[in-house]
Structure 1
Amino acid sequence: MRLTTVEIDKAAAILKLLGDKTRLTMVKILDNNDCCVCEFVEIFKMSQPAISQHIRKLKDAGVVREARRGQWIIYSLNKDSDYYPMVHNLLGHLPSQDYKLSELEEQGLRISCE
């Protein structure tokens, strides 16, 4: 992992963005898994527009990126971002959230958009 220095203003903006529990949990999930909006809708029991708003903020900051798979958009952590080393370090201090995806899988809702 490359070492980069992030300006204080930019670091503060990223940390403020991740100060939201929903966004922080999304990013922690995306640390090990790619997801679509429909999965986050089920995990967080929030509306699709609300989830999309959170994703847009993370994407605009460069923390998350999207890739099209057929008609679906799949989100992942942007490991090419200058902020990735800082974000990745922060995520290392948090408990795994993978169980949320396991619960979706058990309910038959994992990647329900494919």
Structure 2
Amino acid sequence: MVTKLEKRLKALADGTRLKILVLLSIRPCCVCEMVEVIGFAQPTISRHLQRLVEAGFISFTKKGNYLIYSLAPEDQDAEEILSLVLKQLGKTPTFAELKASLTQADKSFLWRDL
């Protein structure tokens, strides 16, 4: 049986999921924004998001036709792990690149107007 800690560590052992966490640390995003910024197909991003939801790091809400994902650690352990990971990712050039890309994408999406 896979423990919750194993599930969380496996979820963090993927570069794409780390990029998703970086984006969500900046602000909530819909799948279409992540597709544009990360550059993978929607089904791929959706599978990665599902793994992060199952690990207890993120959640989503429905807004119109959009699913909006945000950081939402389900317990203290998830919050501490996520905090440590994001602190380390914040020191990388990837963080700045993703932040710039997300800022550029801000003008393209209308879900925030709903």
- TM-score normalised by the shorter chain: which range applies? 0.7 to 0.9
Further displaced range: 26-35 or 96-105: 96-105
What's the offset of the Cα at 1:10?
2.9
**Considering only aligned residues, what root-mean-square deviation do their CA atoms show, in Å?**
1.8
Query: Is the 8 Å Cα contact of residues 64 and 111 (structure 2) preserved in structure 1?
Result: no
Bigger helix share: 2
In the alignment, which of 25, 31, 43 is matched to residue 25 of structure 2?
31
CA distance in 1: counterparts of 2:99 and 2:110, whole angstroms? 17
Greater relative CO, 1 or 2 (CA 8 Å, sep 6+): 1
- When normalised by structure 2's length, the TM-score is 0.78
Aligned position for 1:100: 101
Q: What are the Cα deviations for residues 6-63 of structure 1, in whole angstroms up to 9, with x where unaligned?
A: xxx4333312211100101101211231000000110111111111111111112221
Question: Structure 1, unaligned stretches of length 5 or more?
Answer: 1-8
Please tell me whether residue 43 in structure 1 is matched to residue 37 in structure 2: yes
Identical positions, percent: 31
Aligned position for 1:5: none
Query: Is the 8 Å Cα contact of residues 39 and 112 (structure 1) preserved in structure 2?
Result: no
Question: Structure 2, unaligned stretches of length 5 or more?
Answer: none
Please tell me whether residue 68 in structure 1 is matched to residue 62 in structure 2: yes
* SS across alignment from 1:93: helix
- When normalised by structure 1's length, the TM-score is 0.78
What's the offset of the Cα at 1:112?
4.5
Please tell me whether residue 88 in structure 1 is matched to residue 83 in structure 2: yes
What's the offset of the Cα at 1:80?
4.0
Q: Which runs of 4+ in 1 moved over 6 A?
A: none
